[in-house]
Structure 1
Amino acid sequence: MTDGPAAASGADAARAEQDAIIAALSPVVDGIVATFGAFCEVVVHDFRRPERSVVALAGSVTGRGVGGSMSEIGMKLLAAGDEARDELNYLTRTRDGKLVKSSTMVLRDSDGTAFGALCVNLDVTAVHQVHALVGGLAGVAAAPEAPPTTTFGDDITAVLDSIVDARRLRRPEPWPQLTREERLELFRDLDRQGVFAVRGAVQQIAARLGISRASAYNYLAAARTG
């Protein structure tokens, strides 16, 4: 006899608990934004639906809405699974040039399963500009390290394209010039970043690389077993 019904009941209970945590957090986002003001955005992500992970949002820093997708940072947390760790006080830059200071806290149920995230984004562009101005006037300005550009949007397609393009910048050789091991490493890298957890990602990556969907599935399978 199998424990199928018991396992199903346990999964239902876990889903119900996760839903309850998200429901409890949803009104919290408005309170945080009301406290910090117009330069703040708070987002609740549900990792169980990565293509449209934004389930609650207040403020407008990244331009997303409810039903929008996670960024590259969220994709990495998704790929890490239950090993995901909070990412606190990191700087990124949006595609339209905003400098954003963020903290992303992983949401877990009572079993320790990571199923979502609470993300706080602060637009610190003006603060950075004032800091640079004051430093320049005082003669102590230093060139800070440029923060990475992050893709925020309602369409997961743009996020996946950005991940592939970033990988191409590191290795600009076109697909036909890559060795088999380099091709496998490309798929391992994309897999580590959570790309293939997204529905339809294999087809999109195949099109981006100019290969068939069957070839992409074969490389992914080989990358995961090799």
Structure 2
Amino acid sequence: MIAKEIKKPASKDDIAAHAKRVFTARDKQILANHEPIAETIALTFGKGCEVVIHSLEDLGKSIVKIFNGEVTGRVLGAPITDMGLKVASKAVDTTESVIGPYFSKTKTGKPLKTTTMIIRNDEGTPIGFLCINFDLSISLVQFLADFSPSAETTASGENFAPDVGELVGQAVADELDAISRITGVSPTEKNRRVVANLEQRSIFDIKGSVELVAG
């Protein structure tokens, strides 16, 4: 684990020492493909979790996507950090995909826990990073707000089954329970509705599900 240090922009001299690279369209697409991943992480862990995608094409403007940037106060087009330069240098000589977690702090003293994923192109060359910076000073009130259901969200009742048999079996049980509450419907019609509802839930897209339902 890397010791705590201040997360600050790299100096102009340090950035100048790393020549700009010309990225291909494919390189840029690979970086863009990580944007939904970054957004997913930020939405899951809330306002105290900053997620950044850095491009190594131009280190002076390395941030190409950022979520919850208020954690460090950075925006699109901000330069790479001094720690980022160290990671960039290390990335060339390692096959590791993940650096960290390590601890740092912002220039205002905000403590951060950081993990960095190295993004490589099709040739295995490092082209960027996906960095997660979690604010360890976030208030308990904000933390609970981020991890509690809002008035607009409801529990989905998602079934976390360990195998296909249980997944299909639970889906069938759910539909049979729901249909049993309906009166005035013949057994044949109930079966038809159960099958229709299972199809709507895409259960039959799972290999072997037809046999499991029939059995």
After TM superposition, the score normalised by the length of structure 1 is: 0.48
After TM superposition, the score normalised by the length of structure 2 is: 0.50
Q: Which has the larger radius of gyration?
A: 2
Higher helix share goes to which structure?
1
